[in-house]
Every structure is written in C-alpha cells, then in structure tokens.
Amino acid sequence: MTTSVPAVPRTAPCVRVGNASGFYGDRFTAMREMLEGGDLDYLTGDYLAELTMLILGRDRLRDPARGYASTFVRQMRECLTIAVERKVRIVTNAGGLNPKGLADKLTELADELGVDVSIAYVDGDDLISRAPELGLGEPLTANAYLGAFGIKAALDAGADVVVTGRITDASLAVGPAAHHFDWQPDDLDQLAGAVVAGHVIECGTQATGGNYAFFTEIGDLSRPGFPIAEIAADGSSVITKHRATGGAVTVGTVTAQLLYEITGPRYLGPDVTTRLDTVALSQQGTDRVLISGVRGEIPPESVKVSLNTLAGFRNEVTMILTGLDVEEKARLVTEQFESSLATKPEQLTWELSRTDRADGVTEAQSSALLRCVGKSRDADTVGREFSSAAVELALASYPGFSMTAPPGKGSPYGVFEPGYVAADTVEHRVTLSDGTVTQIPPSPVRGPLAPLVDEPPRPARDWGPTSPAPLGLIAGARSGDKGGSANIGVWVRDPEHFDWLDEILTVDLLAQLLPETADLTVTRHRFPNLLAVNFVIEAILGRGVADNVRFDPQGKGLGEWLRARVVDIPDRFEVI
C-alpha cells in the first residue's frame, strides 16, 4: 500500500509525541483518548517489559504465529481510522517477539477496514537462533535492545505505522524526533534530550501523577491523562498532557519518573549515552514542564540483550493465622506441611507477615498471613501433592485454620538476566510495506567511555535541633525493578533539604532503615540537578520478577517503605 499520511514538515518548531501505553495491560481506551483528546504528530505505545518478554515467549512456544501484544490489534481496530483521519502516525514495540506477524495482522486489518496505510516493521533484535554462538546460552528468548534509527528509516520512507520488536523504551519517542529533525548519529546532545523525554513518557501515567509519592497534592487522579512530549530541534522538550484530562504534570511528577528504574548518571543506550546528571527541569505553566540542558556522550560498543529462561515450576499457598499464638501456629503448620510432602521441592520458602494487631477490632486486624512458595524443576512436585498437602490440614492443624484461596495446580516460571553482545553482531532491519528491507548499521561513533570522577565528600554541617519523623514528610521516592536488582530514587524539593538528604542518607543509613538491604551490595548515586540520590540494590529481587518470591516481587513499594521510616529531620525544615 502507499502512504496516506505525509511526513511531518521538518520546519515545524517541535514534534508532539504522545504515549498511550506503559505496559502490556495498560488502559485499553487510552489510544482513543489520546487520538481524540487533542493534537498529536505521533502516538507511541510501550508494551514490553522483562516479564512481558517471558510471557510472549511462552505464547510463541504454544503458537509460533503469536509472540506479539494482541491487545494492540484490538485497539487498532477501534483507532486506525481515527489515526489516519487525524494524520497521527503510530510507533509501537507491541511486535514483541514477532513484529512481522503483528505487521501482517495490521495489514489484514487495514484491508478489512478499507484504510490506506503504509505499515513497516523493525526487527533483527531476536537472537534466539544465534544465542549459543554469541555466548548467551540456551534461553527461551534472547532479544537485543535496538535503537531509534530503524524507526527513523521507516518514517523517512513514509510509514504511517511502525511496529518494532525489542527496542529501548525511549526509542519510541527518539525515532519520531530524529525523523522530524533529521538528526544523525553524531547529534548526541539532541538524541540524549529526546531519550530523556522518551524515558519520562514511556511509562504512561506515571508522568502525570500515577504512583506519585505526593499523590494527595494531585487534584484529580480518578483517570490521569497520558503524557505528551513536545520535542524541539535542540533536544529540549516540554512534558504535558491533553487539556481536561486528570492528573498533573509538575516538576515533581517528572522527577519521579526520571528516577524510575535507573542506575547512575550515565544512561546507556545503543544510540547515545545520556547524562542524567545534566537534566534541568522547570515548570513552564500548568501541566507543562521544560526539560533542558541534557548532554549526550558516545554510546557503548556493546548492546544489552534481554534473556529469559524457563527455570521450573512453582506453586504457593497463603494461610491465615488469627488471634493469639501466631508464631506458634506458624511453627506448627510449617512442620505439618513439610512432613506431609512425599517429595520436598528444591526450594520451599516461608514468609510470615505480621499484619495482625493486638486486640484488633475486626477479624482482619487480628490476623497474620503465612505464605509458602514451592519451586521445582518437576511440575508434579509442586502440583497436586503440594496443593493436597495444604488442603488436608484443614481439620488437623492450628485453631482457625483457613487460606486466602485454595492452592492451584502450579505453573511454570522463568528467570531474567541481561546479556551483552558487540553492536555490530546485531542485524537491525527495517522492512517496508512493499517488502523493501534496509539494514541499519550500529552507531558509527560508539566507543569506550572515560571513567566518571567522584566528587569529594563535603564536610558535615550542623543542622541544629532535630525531631524524629517519617522521611516521607520531606522526601519523595520512586522504586522499581531492574532484573534481579531494584532502585530507589529519593528526592526533595528544596536545595537546602537536598544538602541535608545528601549528607545523611548514606548506604549505611539505608541498611538501618531497610534491614532487607543490609547484606546486599548497594550503590549510591547523586543527582544534585534533580535534588535526588539514587540507590541500586543488587539481588534484592533474586533472579527477577518471574522467579522472585519476595512480598513485593517488583520492588515497587521499596520507596514508600523507606519514606515511612523515621529519621531525625531538622526542626527548621518545613515538612509537608
């Protein structure tokens, strides 16, 4: 088919890129809301996460024609005609493990709807057939993180819809901006600025008040609007949202998202290394935050690969312990359950959560939860026998025995880990609607980066009288998973408060406040430009969310736990 949507004129002062999905399962109606809610040049959708790649990998095992985000097809059935009428071009990574399959499905849909569009797809990220020779083992999925220049090439050729496999999330926004302004691989500052804009909008409503530490300050969170990045030729951007939508765009909401799932000052990508310690934020009016000053460095010589492996099978049961003698009840049922298993799983994990209160006024307030998770390479070991062992204790164990739900049959689980390959071993390809295939070479400016120089410690200050109070009265936080690790970004809103936070919130203090981190490797990074510090906690999530049996398997609540802990705050600080 020939394209019906002309390329955006490159003389326009900015390109307006919206996002309608932050994960596979996000608000289904967001695509229509974004298309009908105001002007856009591009609409992106991020459907992929580390766990999603595992889910799609299992889908592909069952049916080789699958492996993409099927939700996107249903959304496009409702919205493809609207996008064409409004001259909005669509860029999405919903192709997952099968971008060609999704592109073919969309072509069929366009024919059915009578819509004339050009659909291109970007692939080459899937390394599964070459995994052994590349030293990646024998995983279920192996996908390199591609950059934005495949998207740019597709848009340069006139594509209305661009479907990709595994790309870096921010590339969804970088590609349209690179096309709009015809950026080249050596336009590092511009690319880095667009990476920051893309990182802010990639998780949808997290940029407009969702999961925000100071959520009580957001007027209407009943249905937050999805974010938009207005990206300029120099790489600066304004983050905003459609008018008359819920939520808010503030320096705080943007700061929170910038700190989400990052490590240190260098944000590595296949097109550019973005210096997050150069980002400047300023409020430009209601629901408008300017991002400026971002500097870029050359990208590294290798690219990251997302590896997922089926690790075995798991099952779990949660028992409710009510009233007195909780510890003794837990001990009894643990001994009974384990002794009744003919074959003990390779891993059997117990976790007692003391959610009970003394003299609780409701039964729920008087109850604790005991969770048992079993893992095995053998499905039967954590299947019927595991479930039966729990159920058979119903009349033979502690007084008041009950479970939150009957245990199931057990299910397979996977393990995520990152791998790395040389950039020039990845065949980054673009296939246009007429079948033309273009190879995208790796960045010609990639290379080694000079080590960062640590700032010398500053002398301690006398902060005067202090009073114990929760850290969250003065600081916000956002946390999330990075494979088996997690990060906690902590920020304040006053420069003097940052001087205090920077001094007192050390790795040692974090270990005291969050004892679960005490025996783990923790790295602390400073972001004075954001009035923030970021902690990377290695191995707190085991081998990733699909494998992890922790109470909070994705680490999303770590930041809020930290904010609830009590520290000595200077009396002269105005707390929230």
pLDDT tens figures, 132-141: 999 999 999 9
Q: Say whether pLDDT at 12 is over 90.
A: no
**Domain parsing of the chain, residue ranges:** 14-306+418-440, 313-415, 466-570
Contact in structure between 45 and 19 (CB atoms under 8 Å)? yes
Instruction: Determine which helix (DSSP H) or strand (DSSP E) holds 313, and give its type and residue range.
Output: strand 302-322
Q: What pLDDT does 8 receive?
A: 40
How far is 487 from 330, CA to CA, in rounded Å? 32
Domain 313-415 has CATH 3.30.70: yes
Confidence class of residue 576 from pLDDT cuts 50, 70 and 90? Answer: low
Q: CA–CA separation, 560 vs 535, rounded Å?
A: 14
User: What pLDDT, in 10s, does the model give residues 264-274?
Assistant: 999 999 999 99
For position 550, what pLDDT does the model report? 75
Task: State mean pLDDT over 123-129.
Answer: 97
| 3-state SS assignment for residue 140 | coil
In whole angstroms, what is the distance from residue 180 CA to residue 235 CA? 12
Q: What percent of the chain has pLDDT over 70?
A: 97
Q: What is the pLDDT of residue 484?
A: 87
505, 525 Cβ separation under 8 angstroms:
no
CA distance 565 to 400: 33
Span 80-112, pLDDT tens digits: 999 999 999 999 999 999 999 999 999 999 999
Look at residue 365 in the predicted model and tell me its pLDDT. 96
| Collapsed DSSP state (helix, strand, coil) of residue 454 | coil
Mean pLDDT of the residues in the chain: 94
Encode pLDDT of 272-326 as tens digits: 999 999 999 999 999 999 999 999 999 999 999 999 998 899 999 999 999 999 9
Q: What is the 3-state secondary structure (H, E, C) of 487-553?
A: EEEEECCCHHHHHHHHHHCCHHHHHHHCHHHCCCCEEEEEEHHHCEEEEEECCCCCCCCCCCCCCCC
Element containing residue 110 per DSSP (H, E) = helix 99-113
Report residue 495 as tokens: 């420069």
Q: Residue 6 has what DSSP assignment? A: P
Tens digit of each residue's pLDDT (9 = 90 or more) over 202-230: 999 999 999 999 999 998 999 999 999 99
Q: For residue 370, list its beta bridge partners.
A: 319, 352
Confidence of residue 4 (pLDDT cuts 50, 70, 90): very low
Contact 84/59 with Cβ under 8 angstroms? no
As a whole number, mean pLDDT of residues 370-395 equals 94
Q: Does residue 398 or residue 551 have the better pLDDT?
A: 398
Tens of pLDDT along 230-240?
999 999 999 99
What is residue 2's predicted lDDT score, i.e. its pLDDT? Answer: 33
Beta strands in 261-301 (DSSP E): 266-267, 273-275, 280-285, 288-292, 295-297
What pLDDT digit, counting tens, does each position of 483-521 carry?
A: 889 999 999 999 999 999 999 999 999 999 999 999 999
Percentage of the chain surpassing pLDDT 90?
87
Residue 483 is predicted with a pLDDT of 82
Q: How confident is the model at residue 6 (pLDDT cuts 50, 70, 90)?
A: very low
Flag whether pLDDT at 9 surpasses 80.
no
Instruction: Note the pLDDT of residue 548.
Output: 66
pLDDT exceeds cutoff 70 at 15:
yes
Q: What is the pLDDT of residue 413?
A: 86
Rounded mean pLDDT, 170-198: 98
Two tokens, residue 238: 């304004």
Q: Where are the beta strands (DSSP E) in 214-279?
A: 227-232, 237-241, 266-267, 273-275
Taking each helix axis from N to C end, the angle separating 171-181 and 188-201, rounded to the nearest 10 degrees, works out to 140
The contacts found for 213-216 with CB under 8 angstroms, 24 or more apart, are 213/256, 213/472, 213/475, 213/476, 213/477, 213/478, 213/559, 213/560, 213/563, 214/252, 214/476, 214/576
pLDDT of residue 54: 86
